[in-house]
Amino acid sequence: MKQKLLKRILLISSTVFFVGVLLCFALFTIINVVGAKRVLDGRIDEYASLVAGLSPEEIASELDSVDATLMRVSVVDDDGTLIADNLLDASGQKVLDADDVDDIIDSGRRYKLQRLYGEGETLYVAYTYVRSESLGDIIVVYGIDIDFNDLNFWLLAAGCFVGWIVTTAVTYFLARNYILSATDSLDKLRTMLENVNKGNYSRISYKSKFNDVQEIVDNIDVAARNIDETIKNLKNEQVKNTFILSNVDQGIVAVNPKRKIIISNEAFSRIFGSNPGLVGVDLQEVTGDGSEKDKIYAAIADGVSGTVADIVVNGRTYRVENVAEPEHWPEGWGETGSMLLFTDVTYEANMSKMRSEFFDNASHELKSPLTAITGYAELLGESSLSAAKRAKCVDEIRANAGDMLALINDMLRLSKLDYSDSPRDVRRVDLKEICSEVVKRLDLQAREANVSVAVEGEAECSADEGDMYAMISNVVSNAIKYNKHGGSVKISLAHEGAGARVVVEDTGIGIAPEHIDRIFERFFKVDTARTRSKELSTGLGLSIVKQLADFYGAKIDVKSEVGKGTRVTLTFGR
C-alpha cells in the first residue's frame, strides 16, 4: 500500500509538472511559429512582387544585397534549378525535386521547417509560386531563423528539465516520510487479515496507539474465532454431502419454485454437458425445450411427485422423477421447491424397443410362409386336384417350410448372441479352409444364379470356427444372391498384422448409398425384386455378421456402387 501511494504521488506530481513544462514549450513554439509565419508572409509577398518583373541578372543583383545571416532568399525555376540565392553560387544546381515543384505550383505556397538545401541552420521556410514576365513559372524561397533554435531556447529547456527532476525528488522524499508514519497501523491490520485469510484464526494480540485502529483489531479477533467455528461445522457437512452426491450415478438437482437451480451434482452436469457451478441458473437453460421436458416443468409448477417423463439426451434415455416439497428441505434454500432425479434407463429402453421391433418383424416374416403353407395344404385336401398340382403344392409347402426354418434358425442364433455368455471354442482357425467350405456349400446356389465364386490368398485368426463360418457364409451368400447373371464373387484373404483381412467383392447390383448404413439392421432388406436368386432373404444374415464382428472386435467396411457391385471387408485384430 505504501509503495502504491508513493508511486501514485510521485506519478501525479511529475506528470503535472511535466505537462506544465510541455504546455509552456508548446505555447512558446506556437507563438514563435505564428510570428515567423506572419513575417514570412509579408516578406515573401514583397519579394515575389519584386522579382516578377526582373530579369535573371537583376534578380541575382537584388538578392546579393540581402544579408544571408539574417535571412535566406532564393529564386528557383520550374525545373527545380536555382536561378539566384543570397548565399549560394547560382550556377544552375538542382535544389528541388520535380514532385516538390509540382506541389508548390499546385498549392501556391508551402511552409517547411528545414535546413535549406541541406546545409546551414534550421530555418522556417516559405515557398511561393510566381509568374515571371521574363522567366515564366518560378518559385521564390524565403527562410528565417526562429527563436527556439537559439541558445536561449535550449537554456530554458535545460532549466525546465532540471526543475522537473528536483521537484519530483523533493516530492517523493517528503511524501515517503509522511506515508510511512501514517500507514504503520494499516500494515499491522493487513498482516492480521492475511493470517485470517490463510486460515490462521489464533487470538490477535496487537495494541495500537490509535483507538479507532484498536477497535478494528478487536472486531477482527472476534470475527476470526467465529469464522473458525463456522468453517469446522461447514467442512463436516460438506464432506458428507460431497460423498453422497459424488458417489451416485443418478443426476440430482434441487430447484426453487421459480426453477432456479439451488444445488446439483456432477452426474447432472455430465448428463447435459454443462459446466459445474449451476447455482442460480434456470433449469430450462440447462435441460432445454421439448414436449417431454415440458412435463418436468409442469410437475415442478404443480408440485406433482413421482415419475414425470422419460427424456432422451445425447442418445441416452433418462427417467425423471420429481420429489415435490421434500420433507427435509434446508432452511437456507428459501421457499420449498422440488428435487429431481435423472436415472439412466437407456439399456432398458433399448431392450424394450428391440424386443418390440423383433417380435413385430418376426411375426410379419413368419406370416407369409405360414399363409402359403396353409393355402397349399387346403388345396391338397381337394379330391379333384391332379397329381402334378399336388406335387407342386408339396414343393411349395416344403420351400416355405424351409424359409421358416431358416428364419427361425437365424432368430435363434441372434437370440443366443444377444443373451448367451457361454464360452466359445476360440483357437487359431484357417480362414482359407473355412472359405472353401462356404464355397462348396453355396455351390448349388451359385450355379443356379450362374455366378462364379473364387478364393485367393491365405490368412488365420483366433476365433470360434463356427462363428467365422457363419460370418463369411452370410456375406458370400448375399454376394451371390444380389449378383447379376453371369457375375462373379471373389474372396480375398490376407494377413493384417497379428490378425487377418477378408474381402468379399462381387459384380452385383450394388447398394444405394442411403441403404448402406441400414443393411446390418435386423429384418432390413434391400429391394428383393432386384435379386435373381430364388431364395428369400430373412433379413437377419448381416445382423448376425455385425453381432459376431462386435463380439470379436472386428471392423466391417462396406463400399458399393449401384449397378457395379459391392465390396465388404472384415478386419480381425488378432
Asked whether 322 and 299 are in contact (CB, 8 A), the reply is: yes
Is the distance from CB of 84 to CB of 130 less than 8 angstroms? no
| Radius of gyration of the chain from its Cα atoms, rounded to whole angstroms | 50
pLDDT of residue 68: 74
Q: Residue 493 has what pLDDT?
A: 93
Residue at 484 is within a domain:
yes
Please indicate, yes or no, whether residues 516 and 552 belong to a single structural domain of this protein. Answer: yes
| Pair (493, 529) in one structural domain | yes
Whether residue 459 is found in the same domain as residue 496:
yes
Contacting residues for 451 by C-beta, under 8 A, at least 6 apart:
480, 483, 486, 487, 488, 489, 506
Q: What are the residues whose beta carbons fall under 8 Å from the beta carbon of 279, sequence distance 6 or more?
A: 261, 262, 263, 264
What long-range pairs does 38-47 form, CB within 8 A, spacing at least 24? 39/144, 40/111, 40/124, 40/126, 40/142, 40/144, 41/126, 43/71, 43/142, 43/144, 44/109, 44/126, 44/128, 44/140, 44/142, 45/128, 47/73, 47/140, 47/142
* Within-domain flag for 473: yes
User: Which residue range(s) make up the domain with 279?
Assistant: 250-344
Same domain, 325 and 396: no
Q: How far is the C-alpha of 543 from the C-alpha of 570, rounded, in Å?
A: 14
Per-residue pLDDT tens over the stretch 488-530: 999 999 988 878 999 999 999 998 888 887 777 766 666 544 4
CB-CB contact of 175 with 10 (8 Å): yes
Are residues 455 and 394 part of one domain?
no
> Residues 555, 442: one domain?
yes
Picking from 364, 394, 414, the residue at the C-terminal end of a domain is 414
Which CATH number do you get for residue 334? Answer: 3.30.450.20
Give the length of the chain: 574
Residues 274 and 365 in one domain: no
Residue 382 belongs to domain with CATH number: 1.10.287.130
Q: Does residue 163 belong to any structural domain of this protein? A: no
φ and ψ at 293, to 5 degrees? -70, -30
Q: Based on the domain organization, do 236 and 255 belong to the same domain?
A: no
pLDDT confidence of residue 525: 65
> Into how many domains does the chain fold?
5
Per-residue model confidence (pLDDT) at position 533: 47
pLDDT of residue 126: 87
Pairing outcome for strands 261-264 and 251-255: antiparallel
Run of H or E residues at 442: none
Are residues 432 and 506 part of one domain?
yes
Same domain (yes/no): 398, 513? no
Q: Which value, to the nearest 10 degrees, does the dihedral of the CA atoms of residues 293, 299, 304, 309 take?
A: -10
Assess if residue 513 is contained within a domain: yes
96 conformational bin, left if phi > 0, alpha if psi -120 to 50, beta if neither: beta
Question: Helix, strand, or coil here: 132?
Answer: strand
Q: Does some domain include residue 147? A: yes
pLDDT per residue over 181-206, tens digit each?
A: 656 666 666 776 777 677 666 666 66
Tell me, yes or no, whether 123 and 41 share the same domain. yes
Binned average pLDDT, 10 residues per bin, the chain of 574 residues: 65 71 71 74 82 83 79 85 81 82 86 80 85 84 71 67 77 70 64 70 62 71 75 75 70 86 84 82 86 86 86 88 76 75 82 62 64 77 76 77 66 59 76 92 89 93 86 89 91 88 92 82 58 54 81 88 91 82
Residue where a domain terminates, one of 89, 120, 151: 151
